[in-house]
Amino acid sequence: MRAYIAGIGMHVPERIVTNADLEKMMDTTDEWITERSGIKERHYAKPGEGPSDLALPAAKEALEMAGLKAEDIDLIMFSTVASDYMIPGGGCILNEYLGIPGTPALDIRVQCSGFIYGLAVARGFIESGIYRNILFVAAEVQTVALDLRTEGRDTAVLFGDGAGAVVIRATDDPNRGILTSKLHADGRYARDLMIEAPSTRDNPWLTKEILDQNKHKITMNGRNVFKHAVTNFPAVINEALEALHMDKSEVKLVVTHQANLRISEAVAKRLELPMHDVVFSNIQKYGNTTSASIPIALYEAFKAGRFTIGDTLVLASFGSGFTWGAVVLKW
C-alpha cells in the first residue's frame, strides 16, 4: 500500500504587502530585498485571522479535488509554527470548522520542515494500514511575530502568511505515491532561528518585560541559516535519490521550501539541475511561508501543468531547528 496525494489546495490572506510598502515601515529598499531574496510581495493575515482560518479554504479545495467529503477523513494533520491559540493545537480548530467531531487531529511542529515531516508521518499511517484518508494542512500566520522596524529588517522582509493543504490517500497503484522520506535535525542550532517567547521557561510566560525586550519576535542568524541550507538541501535530496537508486535525470520537478530564491538557485547549481526547468520557485509572490511554502509551491506548479500523474517529484525543506528533509514521490 502506498500513500499518494489525491488532492491539493491553497489559500493566502487578502492583504498584499509589497517591498514598496515595507520601504515605508523601515529602512529598506526593493532593490536590497529582490537581490538578496527574490521576494517582491507577500500576504499578511488581518487581525483576528488565525492559521485555521487560512487552512479551511485550502482544505476544502484539496478535499474537492480528491472527491472526498470532510466526513471521509480518518485523520487531520495540521502543521504550524504558531497555532491559533497556545492551547489547543490548530488541528482541533480545523476539526471544529469542518464539522467532524470525533475525527483525530494531530499537530505537527517542525517549523519550515513541517510539511516534509508530516508527509513522512502520513505515509507511516497509510502504509501500516491504520488510516486510508488523511487531510494534511500546513498553515502559517507568522507576520504577527515580525519586527517591522529597521532593527528587524533582515528577517521581517522575508516572511509572509499562507496555507497549503493536501489529501493523502491509500493506493495499490505501483506508479503513484511516496517512495521515500529522509528526515534530519540538528538542535545545536536551535537558537539560530527562533521566537523566544511566550516561553514556559518564563513564569508567567508573558510579561511586559518580555514584550519590551522584543522576545516575542522572530530572530535569525541569517548567514548561518544560509550556509547550512545550501549544503543540507542538496545533501538530503541526494540521500533520498540514492536510497531509491534513482538518477536525478528521472526527476520531473524539485519543489523546495521557499526560503530564499538565492538558496534555491544555489541548490539547483550544486545538484547541476536547470533552475527554471526543474527547480520550482514562487517565493516572488509569497515570501517565506514556513511549512506552508512547499504545498503552496506544489499547488501552483500543479496548476501550471509542470507535472502530471506518474511524474517523479522531489520535495525538500530546510529551516528552524535546524531541521531538514526530503520526500520523493510519484504524483
Asked if 288 is an active-site residue, the reply is: yes
Distances (CA, A) of 204 to 197, 209, 215: 11, 11, 14
- Residue count, binding to ligand UT7 (CB under 6 A): 20
Q: Which of 223, 250, 309, 310 binds ligand UT7 (CB under 6 A)?
A: 223
Give the nearest distance from C-beta 290 to ligand UT7 in angstroms.
7
The catalytic position among 112, 232, 260, 282 is 112
Strand order in the sheet with 177-185: 177-185, 323-330, 312-319, 253-256, 279-280
Select 19 or 133, whichever has its Cβ closest to ligand UT7. 19
Query: Smallest gap, in angstroms, from Cβ of residue 86 to ligand UT7?
Result: 23
Q: Among 8, 12, 19, 37, which residue sits at the site for ligand UT7 (rule: CB under 6 A)? A: 37
Minimum Å gap between C-beta 29 and ligand UT7 is 6
Q: Least CB distance from residue 207 to ligand UT7, whole Å? A: 28
Spell out where the chain has E strands: 2-11, 15-18, 41-44, 75-79, 105-108, 133-140, 162-171, 177-185, 193-195, 218-220, 253-256, 279-280, 312-319, 323-330
SS3 at position 12: coil
Q: Which among 53, 66, 51, 48 is positioned nearest to 4, based on CA atoms?
A: 66
Is residue 112 near ligand UT7 by the rule CB under 6 A? yes
What string marks each residue from 138 to 177 as x (binds ligand UT7 by CB under 6 A) or -?
---------------xx--x--------------------
Rounded CA gap, 301 and 295, in Å?
Answer: 10
330 binds ligand UT7 (CB under 6 A): no
- Is residue 19 part of the annotated active site? The answer reads no
Q: Does 113 bind ligand UT7 (CB under 6 A)?
A: no
Exposed/middle/buried for residue 101 (C-beta within 10 Å: 0-12, 13-18, 19+): exposed
Asked if 32 is part of the footprint of ligand UT7 (rule: CB under 6 A), the reply reads yes
Residue in the structure block whose three cell numbers are 517529484: 313
The smaller minimum CB distance to ligand UT7, of residues 154 and 239, is found at 154
CA angle 270, 113, 54 (to 5 degrees): 125
For residues 158 and 40, is the Cβ–Cβ distance under 8 A?
A: no
Among 104, 127, 226, 239, binds ligand UT7 (CB under 6 A): 226
Residues that bind ligand UT7 (CB under 6 A): 28, 32-33, 36-37, 112, 153-154, 157, 220, 222-223, 225-226, 229, 259-260, 263, 288, 319
Mind telling me the catalytic residues?
112, 257, 288
